[in-house]
Amino acid sequence: MSDKVSLPAPREAAPDGARGEPLLVAEGLTKHFPITGGFPVKRRIGAVQAVDGLDLTVRAGESFGLVGESGCGKSTTGRLLTRLLEPTAGRIVYRGRDITHAGRRELAPFRAEIQMIFQDPYASLNPRHTVGKIVSGPMEINGIDPPGGREARVRELLETVGLSPEHYNRFPHEFSGGQRQRIGVARALALEPKLIVADEPVSALDVSIQAQVVNLLRDVQRELGIAFVFIAHDLAVVRHFSQRVAVMYLGKIVEVGDRDDIYRRPRHPYTHALLSAVPEAADLMDTPAGGDGSARASRERIRLAGDVPSPIRPPSGCRFRTRCWKAREECATEEPPLLRAEGSGPGHLSACHFPEPPTVERTTEVILDPALRAAEGHTESQPPNHAQ
Amino acid sequence: MTATTPFLSVRDLYVRFATEDGTVKAVDGLSFELERGRTLGIVGESGSGKSVTNLAVLGLHDPRTTEIEGEILLDGQELTGAPESALEKVRGHKAAMIFQDSLTALSPYYTVGRQIAEPFRKHTGATRREARLRAVEMLKRVGIPNPALRVDDYPHQFSGGMRQRAMIAMALVCDPQLLIADEPTTALDVTVQAQILDLLKDLQQQTGSAIILITHDLGVVAHTVDELLVMYAGRAVERGTVREVLGAPRHPYTWGLLGSMPRLTSDVEEPLSPIPGAPPSLLAPPPGCPFHPRCASVAAVGGDRCRTERPELPAGRGAACHLTPERQRAIFAGQIKPRLR
Amino acid sequence: MLRFLVRRSLGAIVIILLISAITFFLFFALPSEPALMSCGKNCTPDALAVINKNLGLDQPVPVQYWHYMQGIFMGRDFTVGHCPAPCFGYSFSNQQPVWGTIVDRFPTTLSITLGGAAVFLVVGVGIGMIAAAFRGTWIDKFFSSLSLVGGALQIYFVGVIALAVLVSGLHWMDNPAYHPITEDPVKWFTGMLIPWLVLSIIFIANYSRMTRSQMVEQLGEDHVRTARAKGLGRRTVFFRYAWRGALAPIVTIFGIDLGSLFGGAIITEFTFSLHGLGRLAVSSVSETDLPTLMAVMLVGCTAIVVANIVVDAAYAVIDPRVRLA
């Protein structure tokens, strides 16, 4: 248990210096789900490369965002970090201890410190237990008796998450989706964790309720100083919540950096494409009624072709190359390492052979989708050159 | 308001469901109009009645539990209370629908091509061969690579984005004049969503059809629709062009929706401004304005009006709110807009 | 599909071999002297030794098993003469080749089970569909209460009443009897009618109830709504879309029921005084006729395993998402 490992020096120096020690470090984290098949005897014939060689560091008290589209491995990453899944390769170091292959008993103290919040507020609460039992469950399992007793602590937690202490004896079905997610938050907070991994915590909720829960999580994160890994597909929500953000694509981190690095000075073409695809209601604000759509011109317009390739047979070299308008031969043969690109700030890493200039305030238009190109009258057979 | 009859006109639509707990007033007096070549966005949260409205337009509700009142005129044809045989001729032919989840909305038991060809054969009397060629053509139009091969695939062999394209192909196979898209991109990734929204717009420019786009996401409508209807608790609370509604929203609920959504440019130090509370039960909606229990402007209206008197939505641009249009503008400019930027 | 069939058949062979080995060792290894049962009342040690030698019982059990399996596939030579494949040995009780008895009895059981299954599947699914189409109306409620009653009945109860009323009371029909279908299809049909009806009354309840609930569920599915939104007629939507979806779980249950029908053949055959495999199994147990019992076991197991493969294949035909490889 005392095998202290030497931590890699944090490659990302915090510019503001306000951040804490590395809390959780993942190195080369990999999860492959085997696929069986074959004839006449079934055997392993391949693997879904859900997560493939991930390096990331979560510092104490920081909120770390993990964004990406479905199938990019962000949820698997969350489950690996909390050791709900056993990694295929790589290691996880929590507070200086290697917990990659720690057994149940060794993990027990860390289980209390690392909690999870799930997407579905309906499925993640036992319908037969009262709110009090659900929230006090972690304390019971870990044999923790807070001063004043468990019930008092639960009532206090319910208040913290914006529920009434009187809800103690109610059942989950008596609550709305947003309230249920609050119960989930209260349960996660019961053991005063140091790290919470929240997997799409608001995506099942209506817009107006979503904002309530985002605000709650932000308050909890800031006031209690809990480090968060916030996993979501909604780029705006992640931006609002996270100080640092990693963008994932097909099991790999393609870009990681401070919030503004990712959202204002992105270098990876995929990050550009993602940001340009977010539809924004605010684009129309301030424009005079009856205007000619000038709002759109201030943002890039990048339309990728097709969907994300299968993680069973990811493309060689750079995994994004099949949808990238800058792809060249090199991209197919050589996998770009996650590095600080020239012109990027400290701690801003991207994995691209041909990084984009660091701005999104351009009028780039890249249309790769064949149907859209035909419809919009593009006739050339090659995608238009990217305006530099 | 034009003198000629609009292409689609919905007047005083009421939809009620009988449930074990009582009658749900899913749509409670809704009116709107839509012209050919225009796109109407209907925005609201779950339970606002936005999907129910559009199922009612095509008569797709369950007649044993649903009661529909009002007038739905499509190109001069009355659809409320129309016999099933008449509605069958309209559905998929003159008016078609696209649904949210393409995995469950397409039958897993038949090939994509067969499902696309089916309405074409039914409505045009085409032969099996002709319908199949048409299906390949439609798949090509919506940007499916190798359409001649993919036409024989089953839906589960398509990716999510391609399935949604196939569903669009299926809806457009008879060149409908009205296309109702119910959360067409909600189940999709953001990069694929952008493709699909652009595709819908481009196809509309080619065909000149009218589109109703139903969504919970104000961002989705921003670049896609011409007119916008915001629904809350079965009622339309605000109406206008998309520029009017999103540029200078008037209803406190629309303000609340905008305040709830984080943006790529908003100030991250400021918390979001959510709407307090939860949407009302449609079994027993609150008296007066259905939004008043969650509304911050009740005091600004003064007195008991919001609690007792139901505000009406004026024709054309406007909001169903007891605040005068001047007060609406003043509050938005003075208190709401600074918070949104 | 072909790969699936080959793989499943290989698996089935392994299963049947395992079952044969286990039953063989149970039957022949456990009772001390199988030959004693064949020897009769006036048994002398010499006669016993002869029988042991004739039946090959003087050899170690694994060798006996090997000869037994050899006999099934290649035939086997006994001192009394050659027994052509498939040879399951000679009955202890009547000294006839077991296979001949099986061939004689198997069609009866097969007629009862498959015929009955066909009737209750068609009628049960049909009633379920009618109930689903008219759900909430008196038709639905009528069938629901009927199926409640049917589901509570047992074959020996319904069977005896049916015989008493239809045969003895009203004289509408003759006692159930088996006539080979190859000889006289009409007689075969009329002879089997009462068992089929009785089996149906009991199983229809289950199938109509299941079909109804599956249909109601399917009718609420998104893809059925899409089909309606395309302008397809109610009938097309009902049969082409909803019914197709309801079919898969019904087929699964049907596979299990087929198995239990074979297993329950004993009761059915006793109720209707028919001479099928079930009755043969009972008589061979009471007479400790091990070769016959063993053969009945193997044939029964094979039938159930084959039925399962057929059901799985049917499942793949119904639902293209089920990939068989």
Q: The complex's ipTM?
A: 0.87
Chain C contact present for B152, CB below 8 A: no
Q: Has residue B151 been placed in a domain?
A: yes
pLDDT in tens, A49-94: 899 999 999 999 999 999 998 888 999 999 999 998 999 999 999 9
Q: Are B22 and B41 in contact (CB under 8 A)?
A: no
Q: Judge: A281–B222 Cβ closer than 8 Å, yes or no.
A: yes
Between A25-34, A285-294, B199-208, C304-313, the lowest mean confidence (pLDDT) is in A285-294
In a domain, A26, yes or no: no
Name which of B195, B241, B340 is nearest A372 (Cβ-Cβ): B195
Find chains touching chain C: ≥3 CB pairs under 8 Å.
Answer: A, B
Residues A129 and A192 in one domain: yes
- Range from A26-35, B154-163, C34-43 carrying the lowest mean pLDDT: C34-43
Nearest to A264 by CA among A303, A234, A214, A300: A300
Predicted pLDDT at A239: 93
Read off the amino acid at residue C237.
V
Judge whether residue A18 has pLDDT over 70.
Answer: no
The Cα–Cα gap between A29 and A51 comes to 7
**Separation between Cα atoms, residue B237 and residue A204, nearest integer Å:** 24
Q: Is A287 part of any domain? A: no
Spatial separation of the C-alpha atoms in residues C162 and C165, rounded to whole Å: 5
Interchain pair A39, C325: CB under 8 A: yes
Predicted confidence (pLDDT) per residue in A174-229, tens digit = 888 888 999 999 999 998 899 999 999 988 888 888 899 999 999 989 889 999 99
Using a pLDDT cut of 90, give the percent of chain C over it.
Answer: 10
How many structural domains comprise chain B? 2
Neighbours of C251 (CB within 10 A): 17
Share of chain A above pLDDT 90, in %: 40
Pairing outcome for strands B210-215 and B178-182? parallel
Same domain, A128 and A247: yes
**Residue (of B223, B204, B163) closest to B187 by Cα position:** B163
If you average pLDDT over every residue of chain A, what do you get?
83
pLDDT band at A39 (very low <50, low <70, confident <90, very high): low
From B175, B201, B236, give the residue that closes a domain: B175
**Does a structural domain hold residue B96?**
no
B14 is a domain residue: no
- Are the C-beta atoms of residues A247 and A254 closer than 8 Å to each other? yes
From chain A residues 247-306, the ones with a CB under 8 A of any chain B CB are 259, 263, 273-291, 296, 303-306
User: What are the chain C neighbours of B97 within 8 Å (beta carbons)?
Assistant: 226, 229
Say if the Cβ atoms of B223 and A279 lie within 8 Å.
yes
Cβ neighbours of C11 in A, within 8 Å: none
- Domain boundary among the residues B175, B202, B225 is at B175
Do residues A117 and A196 lie in contact, with contact meaning Cβ atoms separated by under 8 Å?
A: yes
Q: What is the DSSP letter of B334?
A: I
- How far lies A319's CA from each of A13, A76, A332, A353, C151, in Å? 27, 18, 8, 12, 58
Selected residue with higher pLDDT from C295 and B8: B8
Is B242 exposed, middle or buried, given 0-12, 13-18 or 19+ CB atoms closer than 10 A?
buried
Query: Are both A129 and A234 inside the same structural domain?
Result: yes
Final residue before a domain boundary, out of A254, A287, A308? A254
Could you tell me what percent of chain C has a pLDDT over 70?
94
> Do residues A366 and A224 share a domain?
no
Please report whether residue A55 resides in a domain. no
For residues B31 and B10, is the Cβ–Cβ distance under 8 A? yes
The torsion of the CA quartet A41, A43, A46, A52, rounded to 10 degrees, works out to 170
What is the pLDDT confidence band of residue A38, given thresholds at 50, 70 and 90?
low
Burial class (CB in 10 A: 0-12, 13-18, 19+), A115: buried
Determine the structural domain holding residue A128 and report its residue range: 60-83+104-254
Taking only the tens place, the pLDDT of each residue in A315-350 is: 999 999 999 988 899 999 999 999 998 888 888 999
Q: What is the largest CA-CA distance in chain A?
A: 74
Number of structural domains chain A divides into: 2
Chain B residues close to C229, C-beta within 8 Å: 58, 60, 91-92, 96-97, 99
pLDDT tens digits for C170-200?
777 777 778 777 788 888 888 888 888 888 8
Q: Is residue B239 part of a domain?
A: no
Same domain, A142 and A224: yes
**Does residue A137 surpass a pLDDT of 60?**
yes
Task: Give Cα C83 to chain centroid, integer Å.
Answer: 27
What confidence score (pLDDT) does residue A14 get? 40
Cis, bond preceding A40 (omega within 30 deg of 0): yes
Residue A7: per-residue pLDDT: 41
Where do the domains of chain C lie, and which CATH numbers do they carry? Answer: 2-83 (no CATH), 98-318 (1.10.3720.10)
Higher pLDDT pick, A188 / C58: A188
Å between C170 CA and nearest CA of chain B? 45
pLDDT at B159: 84
Output the pLDDT for position A381.
42
Task: Say which residue the tokens 């293209």 belong to.
Answer: C320
B281: containing domain: 249-340
Q: Is B97 helix (H, G, I), strand (E, B) or coil?
A: strand
Cα(B71)–Cα(B79) distance, integer angstroms: 7
Asked whether residue A35 is domain-assigned, the answer is no
* End-to-end CA, chain A: 54
Q: Tell me how many residue pairs between chain A and chain C have CB atoms under 8 A apart.
A: 7
DSSP collapsed to 3 states, chain C? CHHHHHHHHHHHHHHHHHHHHHHHHHHHHCCCCHHHHHHCCCCCHHHHHHHHHHCCCCCCHHHHHHHHHHHHHHCEEECCEEECCCCCCECCCCCCEHHHHHHHHHHHHHHHHHHHHHHHHHHHHHHHHHHHHCCCCHHHHHHHHHHHHHHCCCHHHHHHHHHHHHHHHCCCCCCCCCCCCCCCHHHHHHHHHHHHHHHHHHHHHHHHHHHHHHHHHHHCCHHHHHHHHCCCCHHHHHHHHHHHHHHHHHHHHHHHHHHHHHHCHHHHHHHCCCCCHHHHHHHHHHCCCHHHHHHHHHHHHHHHHHHHHHHHHHHHHHCCCCCCC
Which ranges of chain B have pLDDT less than 70?
1-3, 341
| A235 inside domain | yes
Q: Is residue B134 one of the residues assigned to a domain? A: yes
Backbone phi, then psi, for A331, in 5-degree steps?
-65, -25
d(CA A249, CA B101): 23
The percent of residues above 70 in pLDDT, for chain A, comes to 84
Please tell me whether residues A118 and A213 are part of one structural domain: yes
Q: Is the pLDDT of residue C289 over 70?
A: yes
Quick one: which of A374, A365, A378, A239 has its CA closest to A304? A365
Q: How far apart are CA B18 and CA B25, in angstroms?
A: 9
Confidence of residue A142 (pLDDT cuts 50, 70, 90): confident
CA dihedral over C255, C260, C264, C265, signed as positive or negative: positive
Is residue B165 in some structural domain?
yes
Do residues C83 and C89 make contact, with C-beta atoms less than 8 angstroms apart?
A: yes
Alpha helical stretches, state H, A242-355: 259-264, 269-277, 294-297, 329-333
Domain membership of residue B152 (yes or no) is yes
- Say which of A219, A287, A296 has its CB closest to residue B243: A287
Amino acid at C112: I
Domain closes at, from B147, B175, B203: B175
Asked if A21 has any chain B CB less than 8 Å from its own CB, the reply is: no
Beta strands in chain B (DSSP E): 8-19, 22-34, 39-43, 66-74, 77-78, 95-98, 178-182, 210-215, 227-232, 235-241, 318-319
pLDDT on residue C158: 78
Instruction: Kindly report the CATH number assigned to the domain that includes residue A197.
Output: 3.40.50.300
pLDDT (0 to 100) of residue A71: 81
Position A248 in a domain: yes
Contact A40 C7 (CB under 8 A): yes
Q: What is the pLDDT of residue B31?
A: 93
Nearest residue to B282 via CA among B32, B57, B31, B22 = B22
CB A266, CB A358: distance < 8 Å:
yes
What was the pLDDT predicted at C140? 87
pLDDT averaged over every residue in chain C: 82
Does B314 map to a domain?
yes
Taking CA–CA distances from B172, the nearest residue in chain C reads: C230
- pLDDT given at position A310: 85
Q: In terms of domains, do A112 and A236 share one?
A: yes
* Cα–Cα distance, A197 to A117 (Å, whole number): 6
C-alpha triplet C13, C19, C23: angle, nearest 5°: 145
* Strands C76-78 and B318-319, sheet pairing: unpaired
Which residue on chain B is closest to C248 by alpha carbon? Answer: B109
Residue bearing the bigger pLDDT, A269 or C67: A269
Same domain (yes/no): A189, A323: no
Written as six digits, the tokens of B173 are 């196979």
Q: Is the pLDDT of residue A375 over 70?
A: no
